[in-house]
């Protein structure tokens, strides 16, 4: 972990009340924060490569962007193969995140500390040396107290260690920086404009978005026809630079920049575009004629267009810090939001050191479901993020509309590759443009995503790229034409190549992701303060942009959850999540791994409002599950905020392989073991017909036997509960086999309730 000096930044959590004077003396007077060192210029090797490229490019001349004649030069590092990173606001720089695991300010470490009970100013005094009188006031950065209790502070390492040893301290962890995971999609999901709605309830729903801010001037956020905010709303609107205030659609907007780092605009305004895009995807009003320069033209709208939006700006140019994320959760829960959408993630940690797991747990306690992006580190396995079982973890899938750009070679061959409009990315295209290049062709087998470039460009498979490479090397004057991008219909859905896969390693018997939602080539509102590419040299600003990422999938799932809640406002977060999982459409997986990439399948919101049965989970069940996973009684008591000790030994232990009433079933077989043996205990609640009979059916792969006991569930009334168990027996057929996938279906005369069953070998990960 990279530090500057010797200070840590901590966030401190308290379960009950917080004494404002707790940390009034924790920084020495002579410990003045210093500026972080600046990044160095490009390496000599990079400069030499740029010189090499500059001598290779020849400018062909200025033609319209939709038609470029270009000379193809036999430079392998220019044309093929070309591994393309995601745009700056979508890519996950895990290496840099790991290098900067602790954000620093001067010589102190900035840490998050989670405490229980009321504390006086003497708490910190016990964890510092006797010369504490020299410690300056002002080390406390922020305190949490609306929905949960804690604080962020700058402490010396030994102070942090002593504080962590205190009886009522839940956890002390560094304040890390996390990354953002970044029209026709709702129609594709079956939610056309005339879909059945409960408008009165929907207009009282509030979706809280933790993101980069919002561009309230977008037509997607017009409040024409809206009444005043719901009476339950307790939030606020914070004015600031370039922000004109809220309205009856965007009823709340505030920001958190607790480390006081450099920012463009200290206000809820969106300088990035990401937050505007996600907000409009979840709850934007219908806007006709939306497009990106004519591409994907149609009506752009959110999943619950009558719902209200509350924006909590927690992400800035450097990323999204833990302390800002917790501040956003603290406010959103207290403000009265109904659903939280958060397209942000980082390296998975134990739940009580993970601000998203902590914040979403408190949201769940208050009846709020949190939808989170799964991450953009696919197709690698065990790359999944945001894995707490009370979170709805969302993978990215396609819709039946994609974009392609055709490259015509001089010898008459046609090669097609998927592309966004010819404007930009964060990788090779800017260098090539600066060196006089007029276009770029890239080869990458993970070429299903679309985004803008600074110059005419296309991405194609390595096989197609090889044909171009051969053409270059066998032709004296190689020429090609890059045509304007066009819209094409495709078979869908399939899981996006970049979408992070399971299995998750924190609680490995819980299948993640939970669900998939559209995240490929999504058109939605965009901030007019951000260029299409995010490149400062790009002077193209638009009202709507096309972006790919699990960031785009997350608000689709949040909107779908809000849609379900509009029909069932009394359902628990787990029941809403269950309804979306058990009614999901089965997925096509381009890469191996099946449900490790798709979870239960792609959301089907119109079916989810009538799922027949739901797998409900109460907070006490999550606590029993955590006891089983090794969390101690004191830590769990502190998390709940209760005064009494939650004694794990005094409660009925969680049963079965996974110990939780989850809608999916997953188990991992130890390395070197081919035998499979697992049992899952489940309880379903009837939310369909009062008098109904469900019969179990299992679809099996070779090598796996699944027994359901009983095979029939008979219900006499709504809300009646019935229990069953699922027993797995079998073996992997050979040493190369590592995953087996089955499907359990409960069916009556109307409903089909699906649960994926997955077995995988842990030796693979």
**Chain segment 290-323, per-residue pLDDT in tens:** 998 888 888 999 999 999 999 999 999 888 999 9
Residue in 28, 89, 142, 274 annotated catalytic: 274
Q: Looking at the predicted structure, is the pLDDT value of residue 485 above 70?
A: yes
Question: Do the Cβ atoms of 494 and 418 come closer than 8 Å?
Answer: no
pLDDT average, residue stretch 456-471: 78
Burial of 396 from C-beta contacts in 10 A (0-12 / 13-18 / 19+): buried
Name the pLDDT band for 640 (thresholds 50, 70, 90): low
Task: Report cis status (omega within 30 of 0) of the bond before 513.
Answer: yes
d(CA 591, CA 261): 41
Q: Provide the pLDDT for residue 51.
A: 34
Q: Is the pLDDT of residue 221 over 60?
A: yes
- Residues 152, 141: contact at Cβ < 8 Å? yes
| pLDDT higher than 70, residue 462 | yes
State the DSSP code for 203: T
The total of other beta-carbon atoms located within 10 Å of residue 652's CB is: 7
Largest CA distance in the chain: 82
Q: Give all strands (DSSP E) within 651-703, no chain letters.
A: 665-669, 675-686, 692-699
pLDDT of residue 5: 38
Please state, in angstroms and rounded to a whole number, the distance separating the CA atoms of residues 418 and 421: 10
pLDDT, residue 435, reads 67
The single residue of 4, 89, 147, 211 carrying the catalytic annotation is 211
How many whole angstroms separate alpha carbon 419 and alpha carbon 546? 11
Q: Which residue has the higher pLDDT, 445 or 245?
A: 245
Is residue 230's pLDDT more than 50? yes
C-alpha to C-alpha distance for 648 and 636, rounded to whole angstroms: 9
Measuring CA to CA, which residue among 598, 517, 3, 89 is closest to residue 319? 89
Residue 535 and residue 415 in contact, taking contact as beta carbons nearer than 8 Å = no
pLDDT (tens digit, 9 = 90+) per residue, 132-191? 333 334 476 777 767 666 777 777 777 777 777 776 676 677 777 776 654 556 666 667
Three-class secondary structure of residue 328 per DSSP:
helix
CA distance 437 to 603: 43
pTM of the model: 0.79
Backbone angles phi, psi at 238, to 5 degrees: -105, 115
Mean pLDDT of 723-741: 90
Task: Please give the C-alpha separations between residue 359 and each of 390, 573, 592, in angstroms, as whole numbers.
Answer: 11, 14, 33
- Name which of 20-24, 368-372, 697-701 the model is least confident about: 20-24
- What was the pLDDT predicted at 158? 77
274 is catalytic: yes
Token representation of residue 495:
């899981």
Contact 3, 109 (CB under 8 A): yes
pLDDT at 325: 95
For this structure, is 280 an active site residue? Answer: no
Measured CA to CA, the distance from residue 67 to residue 64 in angstroms comes to 6
Distance of CA 211 to CAs 25, 90, 215, 319, Å?
A: 33, 12, 12, 10
The pLDDT mean for the chain works out to 77
Q: What is the C-alpha to C-alpha distance for residues 698 and 700, in angstroms, rounded to an integer? A: 6
Determine the pLDDT at residue 603: 96
The DSSP symbol for 187 reads H
Instruction: Respond yes or no: is residue 211 known to be catalytic.
Output: yes
Q: Give the C-alpha separation, 397 to 553, whole Å.
A: 7
- Which residue, 213, 219, 200, is CA-closest to 241? 213
pLDDT above 80 (res 41)? no
Q: What is the pLDDT of residues 651-686, one digit of tens each?
A: 677 889 999 999 999 999 887 777 899 999 999 999
Provide the pLDDT for residue 588: 64
Q: Residue 44 has what pLDDT?
A: 35
**Contacts (Cβ under 8 Å, ≥6 apart) of 281:** 185, 302, 303, 522, 524, 552, 555, 556, 559
Tell me what pLDDT residue 644 has: 60
In the chain, what are the domains? 8-36+104-175 (no CATH), 57-88+401-490 (3.50.30.30), 177-398+502-606 (3.40.50.200), 619-650 (no CATH), 665-764 (2.60.40.2310)
Mean pLDDT of 386-394: 97
Predicted pLDDT at 297: 87
pLDDT digits (tens, 9 = 90+) for 739-762: 899 999 999 989 999 999 999 987
H or E element in which residue 608 lies: helix 605-608
* Segment 514-552, tens digit of pLDDT: 999 999 889 999 999 999 888 888 889 999 999 889 999
More confident position, 466 or 383? 383
pLDDT for residue 231 is more than 70: yes
Pick the catalytic residue from 280, 397, 551, 692. 551
Contact 760, 503 (CB under 8 A): yes
pLDDT band at 104 (very low <50, low <70, confident <90, very high): very low
Please state the rounded mean pLDDT for residues 224-248. 95
Predicted local distance difference test score (pLDDT) of residue 747: 97
CB 10 within 8 A of CB 174: yes
d(CA 663, CA 182): 27
Given a cut of 80, is residue 416 above it in pLDDT?
A: no
């Amino acid at each position: 972990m990279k530090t500057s000096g010797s200070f840590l930044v901590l966030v401190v959590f308290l379960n009950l009340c917080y004494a404002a004077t707790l940390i009034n003396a924790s920084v020495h007077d002579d410990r003045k924060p210093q500026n972080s060192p600046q990044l160095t210029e490009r390496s000599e090797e990079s400069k030499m490569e740029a010189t090499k490229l500059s001598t290779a490019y020849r400018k062909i001349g200025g033609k319209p962007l939709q038609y470029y004649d270009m000379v193809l030069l036999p430079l392998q590092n220019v044309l093929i193969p070309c591994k393309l990173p995601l745009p700056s606001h979508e890519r996950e720089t895990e290496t840099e995140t790991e290098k900067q695991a602790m954000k620093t300010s001067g010589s102190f470490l900035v840490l998050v500390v989670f405490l229980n009970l009321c504390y006086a100013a003497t708490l910190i005094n016990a964890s510092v040396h006797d010369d504490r009188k020299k410690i300056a006031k002002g080390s406390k950065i922020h305190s949490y107290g609306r929905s949960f209790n804690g604080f962020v502070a700058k402490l010396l390492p030994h102070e942090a260690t002593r504080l962590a040893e205190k009886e009522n301290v839940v956890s002390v962890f560094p304040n890390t920086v996390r990354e953002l995971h970044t029209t026709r999609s709702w129609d594709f999901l079956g939610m056309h404009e005339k879909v059945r709605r409960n408008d009165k309830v929907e207009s009282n729903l509030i979706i809280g978005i933790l993101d980069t801010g919002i561009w309230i001037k977008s037509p997607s956020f017009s409040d024409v026809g809206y009444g005043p905010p719901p009476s339950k709303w307790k939030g606020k609107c914070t004015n600031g630079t370039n922000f004109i205030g809220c309205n009856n659609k965007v009823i709340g907007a505030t920001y958190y920049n607790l480390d006081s780092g450099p920012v463009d605009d200290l206000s809820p305004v969106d300088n990035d575009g990401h937050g505007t895009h996600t907000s409009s995807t979840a709850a934007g009003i219908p806007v006709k004629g939306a497009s990106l320069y004519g591409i994907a033209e149609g009506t752009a709208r959110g999943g619950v267009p009558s719902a209200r939006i509350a924006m909590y700006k927690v992400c800035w140019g450097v990323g999204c810090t833990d302390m800002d994320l917790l501040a956003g959760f603290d406010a959103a829960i207290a403000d009265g939001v109904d659903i939280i959408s958060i397209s942000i993630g980082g390296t998975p940690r134990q739940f009580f050191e993970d601000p998203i797991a902590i914040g979403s747990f408190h949201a769940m306690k208050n009846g709020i479901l949190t939808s989170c992006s799964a991450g953009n580190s696919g197709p690698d396995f065990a790359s999944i993020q945001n894995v707490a079982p009370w979170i709805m973890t969302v993978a990215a899938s396609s819709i039946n509309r994609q974009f392609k750009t055709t490259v015509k070679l001089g010898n008459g061959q046609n090669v097609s590759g998927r592309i966004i409009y010819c404007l930009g990315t964060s990788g090779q295209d800017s260098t090539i443009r600066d060196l006089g290049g007029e276009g770029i062709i890239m080869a990458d087998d993970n070429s299903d995503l679309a985004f803008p470039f600074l110059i005419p460009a296309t991405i194609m498979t390595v096989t197609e790229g090889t044909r171009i490479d051969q053409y270059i090397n066998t032709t004296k004057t190689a020429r090609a034409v890059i045509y304007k991008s066009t819209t094409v219909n495709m078979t869908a859905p399939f899981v996006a190549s970049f979408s992070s896969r399971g299995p998750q390693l924190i609680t490995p018997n819980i299948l993640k992701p939970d669900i998939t939602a559209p995240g490929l080539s999504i058109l939605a509102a965009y901030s007019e303060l951000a260029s299409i590419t995010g490149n400062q040299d790009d002077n193209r600003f638009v009202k709507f942009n096309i972006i790919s990422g699990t960031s785009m999938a997350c608000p689709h799932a949040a909107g779908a959850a809000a849609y379900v809640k509009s029909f069932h406002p009394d359902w628990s977060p787990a029941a809403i999540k269950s309804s979306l999982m058990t009614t999901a459409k089965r997925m096509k997986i381009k890469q191996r791994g099946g449900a490790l990439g798709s979870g239960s399948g792609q959301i089907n919101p119109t079916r989810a409002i009538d799922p027949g049965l739901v797998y409900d989970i109460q907070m006490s069940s999550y606590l029993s599950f955590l006891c089983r996973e090794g969390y101690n009684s004191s830590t769990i008591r502190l998390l709940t905020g209760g005064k009494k000790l939650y004694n794990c030994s005094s409660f009925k232990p969680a049963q079965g392989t996974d110990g939780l009433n989850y809608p999916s079933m997953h188990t991992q077989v130890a390395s070197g073991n081919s035998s499979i043996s697992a049992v899952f205990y489940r309880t379903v609640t009837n939310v369909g017909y009062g008098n109904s009979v469900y019969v179990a059916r299992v679809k099996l792969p070779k090598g796996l036997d699944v027994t359901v006991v009983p095979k029939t569930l008979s219900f006499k009334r709504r809300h009646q509960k019935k229990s069953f168990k699922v027993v797995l027996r079998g073996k992997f057929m050979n040493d190369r086999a590592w995953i087996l996938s089955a499907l359990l279906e409960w069916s009556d005369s109307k409903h089909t309730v699906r649960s994926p069953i997955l077995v995988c070998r842990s030796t693979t990960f």
